[in-house]
Chain A
Amino acid sequence: GIQVEQSPPDLILQEGANSTLRCNFSDSVNNLQWFHQNPWGQLINLFYIPSGTKQNGRLSATTVATERYSLLYISSSQTTDSGVYFCAVNTGRRALTFGSGTRLQVQP
C-alpha cells in the first residue's frame, strides 16, 4: 500500500514563529487531507488538497502531486496551534492512509 511519511516528528516553537510541516507519499493520490488533532483528540479538517495551493487564515498548504509531497505552513503560530498534525491520502481505495504525524508544541 501507499506509504506516507511526515517530518519532522516533533517541533517546538515560540509563539509568533513560522513553521513548515512536510508530507511525502509514495504513489499518486486522489485525495490528500491535512488534519489538526487537538489536545482533546478531535481531528479537525484543515485542507483537502490533492494538488495546488490553498490558504485559510494563518495556515496554507501546497501539494506538488508530480513530486509526491505536500507542505503545511503555519505562520505567526499561537499556543492554540499546539497538537498533532496529520497528513492522510488515498489512491485506488477510498480508505485514507494516515502518516505518523508531526507533534507541534507552541510555547508562550
Chain B
Amino acid sequence: EPEVTQTPSHQVTQMGQEVILRCVPISNHLYFYWYRQILGQKVEFLVSFYNNEISEKSEIFDDQFSVERPDGSNFTLKIRSTKLEDSAMYFCASSEVGTRGETQYFGPGTRLLVL
C-alpha cells in the first residue's frame, strides 16, 4: 500500500537555525498538508498546498514558515529561524484530489527538538 514518507525521523537544532523537513506524498495525490503536534497536545493544522500554491493556512503558519514542492515528488516545510516553541512532531499528509470529504494519509512524522 502506498505510504507518505518523511525525513528525517528526528532532528535536533539550535535556536535560530533554519530547518527543512521533507516529505514524499503518495504519488498520485494532488493535495498536501503539514500538521504539528507539540508534546502532549492535540494535532494542529499548519498549511495545505495544491497546484504549487498555498490553499489554506492557520494562524500558526506565520512568516517564519514556508512550503515548497521543489520537484515532482518532494514537499518541504522550512522553518527559517527556529524557536524553542517550534519543538514538536511535524506530520505531512496527502489526499487524492483535495475534496473536503476524503481521507488524508499521514506520514510517520519528524520529531524536531530546538535547543
Residue numbers of A with Cβ under 8 A of B are 30-31, 33, 35, 40-43, 45, 48, 50, 86, 88, 90-101
Q: A30-B100, A35-B106, A91-B100 are in contact. Are A43 and B91 (CB under 8 A)?
A: yes
Q: Are A33 and B55 in contact (CB under 8 A)?
A: no
Residue numbers of B with Cβ under 8 A of A are 31, 33, 35, 37, 42-45, 48, 55-56, 58, 89, 91, 95, 98-106, 108-109, 111
Q: Are B103 and A48 in contact (CB under 8 A)?
A: yes
Q: Could you tell me the distance between the alpha carbons of A1 and B70 in the complex, rounded to whole angstroms?
A: 32
Q: Are A41 and B42 in contact (CB under 8 A)?
A: no
Q: Could you tell me the distance between the alpha carbons of A96 and B91 in the complex, rounded to whole angstroms?
A: 12
Q: Are A98 and B104 in contact (CB under 8 A)?
A: no
Q: A30-B100, A48-B103, A94-B100 are in contact. Are A101 and B42 (CB under 8 A)?
A: yes
Q: Are A96 and B35 in contact (CB under 8 A)?
A: yes
Name the 5 nearest CB pairs between A and B, nearest first: A30-B100, A95-B45, A30-B101, A48-B103, A98-B43
> Residue B101 contacts which of A31, A35, A99 (CB distance < 8 angstroms)?
A31
- Which residue of chain B is the closest to A93 with respect to CB atoms? B56
A contact residues around B106 at 8 Å (CB): 35, 43, 45
Q: Are A43 and B42 in contact (CB under 8 A)?
A: no
Q: Are A31 and B100 in contact (CB under 8 A)?
A: yes
- Which residue of chain B is the closest to A42 with respect to CB atoms? B108
A-B contact pairs, 12 of them (CB 8 A): A30-B99, A31-B101, A33-B103, A43-B109, A45-B103, A48-B102, A48-B103, A93-B56, A95-B56, A95-B58, A98-B43, A100-B42
